[in-house]
Amino acid sequence: MSATTASEAPGAILERLAADGYVVIDNAIPQDLVRDLRGRVERVLERERDHPADPGPSVVSVDQVADLDNTLFRAAEDESERVRRRIRRRQADEFDTPWPVPAEDVCISFIHIPSLFDEGRSQRIFNLINKDVAFAPLVEHPLVLSVLEQELGRDLVVLDMSVNSVGAATNSPGGWHIDSPLTHVPEPLPNLTLSIQSVWMLDDFTVANGATHVVAGSNHTQRKPPPGRDPLDGEVVLEGRAGSVAMWLSQTWHRHGANVSEHPRRGLIVQYGRSWIKPFVDLRTPMNDEQAGAFSPRLRYLLGCNASAPVRG
């Protein structure tokens, strides 16, 4: 596995990323901070599990989601129905504008996906930073940000900030994929990194608890991974102690592993992209004055403030 420490120079870490498509930086933050952030994540997970986002019914002129297939995420029917309602509400709020393609062909950056998946055993938290500003320092971590700036430019932006909690005894791995915005780019994929994913390990990442799997060197294929969940040649498990951070290029093939342990595996995702890439999550719109006041000017830009097309004239 391509692992390093927080004392290694940004250029050397970037070389590992370019060569292998991924890198793990061991012990990037101290254990007392890990414990604090893990407790904060647990509280949000519990609150959102008890009160899942449900906008209620919306009337739309063209209903494109009645038969939306969520088998990829294995969402239970109650969550699948909430996803359908979220999508309909979004359409209604956008002047009842339907998509020009079927729901299954819509860019994943434009469509709601389940917060509860694996039949409700696993869970996501979206828009994390506006739910608890204590996570802000991770976005601006000096070493990580320095590596990212060299690859994506100093005007890079955050495309997503979320938590993925892979539930205990889910026993099945995720499907192989690459990251947005490449999901809708035809092959051959561009020989240019458009985004980089970072995952902060809030628990130890192990083979048994569903640590992320990558295919080393797949970033050079300019191809998408084969569909499915079967093992692939060159597969590597990104194991690490809580407080480490894993990074991989958007074009690197990856998936989460099967959690066969008795405990959830929680990772905090921060995805960064070039300034002209549309974000996966709108982190700017829900931000209020109090939250913005807790963020540095650089962080506000990273989250989308003054980093999108203006109303001209």
Scan for tokens 């958007």, then name that residue: 250
> Model's pTM, two decimal places?
0.95
Per-residue pLDDT reduced to its tens digit, 202-257: 999 999 999 999 999 999 999 999 999 999 999 999 999 999 999 999 999 999 99
| Domains, the chain, ordered by start | 3-28+136-302 (2.60.120.620)
Alpha-carbon distances, residue 37 vs 136, 138, 143, 230 (angstroms): 11, 10, 19, 33
CA nearest to 82, candidates 117, 115, 41, 54: 54
CA nearest to 264, candidates 196, 211, 312: 211
Residues 6 or more apart whose CB falls under 8 angstroms from that of 117 comprise 73, 74, 75, 79, 123, 124
d(CA 52, CA 131): 14
Scan for tokens 């694996």, then name that residue: 118
Q: Which two tokens stand for residue 26?
A: 């061991």
Q: What is the pLDDT of residue 70?
A: 62
Per-residue pLDDT reduced to its tens digit, 68-125: 776 667 888 899 999 999 999 999 999 999 999 988 888 888 999 999 988 889 999 9
